[in-house]
Amino acid sequence: MADIYWNKKFETATTDELRKHQLQLLKEKVKFCYENTAFYRNRLKSAGISPSDIKTLEDAQKIPFTVKDDLRDNYPFGMLAVHLDNIVEIHASSGTTGNPIVGAYTTNDMDVWAELMARSLYATGVRRQDVIHNAYGYGLFTGGLGFHYGAQKIGSTIIPVSGGMTQRQIKLMKDLGSTVLCCTPSYAIYLAEAMNKEGVDPRKDLKLKIGNFGAEPWSERIRERIENDLGIEAFDIYGLTELCGPGVSVECNKHNGLHIWEDHFLVEIIDPKTGDVLPAGEEGELVFTPLTKTGFPLLRFRTRDISVIETEKCDCGRTHSRMMRIRGRSDDMLIIRGVNVFPSQIEYVIMGFPELAAQYQIILDRPEALDVFTIKAELTEQTSKSTQEELNVLKRRIRQKVNNITGLSPIIELVKPGEIPRTVGKAKRVLDLRSGKI
């Protein structure tokens, strides 16, 4: 059993050992933030808190939340806790809604990140002899280099192909004997479609066996589609630019939630409306405090990701808490005619129809007083040959299924295979035209 762990000491530590370790790091981190960042010193003073007030893990709840706007308002280096000379690498989010979110790394931060990524990849079955095809974007986005550093730590062979040039990617996977695919789940589906068009059979022509997918929400049905089309075992991996990038949590081969590396992160689940901490097993918003981050430390960062935390020991032997698959984001929730709708609910419906491909879009508009809710979905090659009457029946079935889940009856638009634009990065599933932006 020892071979399944990258760091058995911490991955199988008892709950008491983990909590003792977390408390020591939390005390140190609060003190570090108080002494080295004006932002946290002012924030804690305003809340009437000093580092000496943190005596238990529950005392973390006294600390005010940190949100994305705090990072944007202090862009670029207002929350830096070390001198800029000590920063060796900088990453950032896209910044499509304002200032980008900056991630600044010290040498220690880089070492920790590589260790977390190595541990995560190892948990999915990646070993030194593997050839890793890394199709995550390289550059400011943390995905590409995060996987790169983890693979290097393990000693695996890595192909830093990045995104784009899909036909070339397929050729490289075939010629170089790739055994592990790392990319967004939507791009994995795109790769499978491209292979099918080129007559490449992943099971016969490639050596792929493992896929590590993240950077966007995806469902169990997307997993099933990927595993069936590529003949691999698909694993979910989670992370955020604000926390370190990928490597915060990952699935093991039991596929029963993502192990949060609690020796590096303190996790809470809160009611997204009230901010109250919820018990394990209840759905809410994930809040993380990175315990070993030094360059850009954070206290109680609200992720907006909706999940459930389970604390029972996993059958794999790891003792760290597990986060269930992300259901959506509290700030991605759509309000359509007064009804709360998560895009994941629509994906659940789409993936339940074998007549439909995996590509779809949710289109919202308000030409007059009421919202117009449209779902555009691609047909499979076989279904695209159906008669109009058959397609009308399929539309009614889809509309009824959406209505059963959401209470809404959308317009269903069925299009031919390939008509919905593909992306090499994160899939853009929602087009909200109500406010004039896409």
The pLDDT of residue 332 is 78
91 Cβ partners below 8 Å, 6+ apart?
A: 102, 103, 105, 140, 141, 142, 145, 241, 245
The pLDDT of residue 437 is 40
Q: Where are the domains of the chain?
A: 1-330, 334-432
- For residue 99, what are the CA distances in angstroms to 49, 68, 71, 78, 150? 29, 10, 9, 13, 28
The pLDDT of residue 339 is 84
Structure tokens at 66: 């940190």
- pLDDT tens, residue order, the chain (438 aa): 458 999 999 999 999 999 999 999 999 999 999 999 999 999 999 999 999 999 999 999 999 999 999 999 999 999 999 999 999 999 998 655 568 899 999 999 999 999 999 999 999 999 999 999 999 999 999 999 999 999 999 999 999 999 889 999 999 999 999 999 999 998 999 899 999 999 999 999 999 999 999 988 788 888 999 999 999 999 999 999 999 999 999 999 999 999 999 999 999 999 999 999 999 999 999 999 999 999 999 999 999 999 999 999 999 999 999 999 988 777 777 889 888 888 888 988 999 999 999 899 999 998 887 899 999 999 999 999 999 999 999 999 999 999 999 999 999 999 999 999 887 677 888 999 986 443
Residue with tokens 């129809």: 353
The pLDDT of residue 328 is 78
Domains 1-330 and 334-432 equal at CATH topology level = no
The pLDDT of residue 84 is 97
The pLDDT of residue 1 is 45
Tell me the pTM: 0.86
CA 116 – CA 261 distance, rounded (Å): 8
CA neighbours closer than 13 Å in the CB half-sphere of residue 260: 28
The CATH code belonging to domain 334-432 is: 3.30.300.30
The pLDDT of residue 2 is 52
Tens-digit pLDDT profile for residues 114-166: 999 999 999 999 999 999 999 999 999 999 999 999 999 999 999 999 988 99
CATH entry 1.10.10.10 includes domain 1-330: no
The pLDDT of residue 94 is 65
HEC per residue, the chain: CHHHCCCHHHHCCCHHHHHHHHHHHHHHHHHHHHHHCHHHHHHHHHCCCCHHHCCCHHHHHHCCCECHHHHHHCCCCCCCCCCHHHCCEEEECCCCCCCCCEEEECHHHHHHHHHHHHHHHHHCCCCCCCEEEECCCCCCCHHHHHHHHHHHHHCCEEECCCCCCHHHHHHHHHHHCCCEEEECHHHHHHHHHHHHHHCCCHHHHCCCCEEEECCCCCCHHHHHHHHHHHCCEEEEEEEECCCCEEEEEEECCCCCCEEECCCCEEEEEECCCCCCECCCCCEEEEEEEECCCCCCCCCCEEEEEEEEEECCCCCCCCCCCEECCCCEECCCCEEECCEEECHHHHHHHHHCCCCEEEEEEEEEECCCCCCEEEEEEEECCCHHHCCHHHHHHHHHHHHHHHHHHHCCCCEEEEECCCCCCCCCCCCCCEEECCCCCC
- Sheet strands side by side (includes 430-432): 411-415, 372-379, 356-365, 430-432
The pLDDT of residue 435 is 65
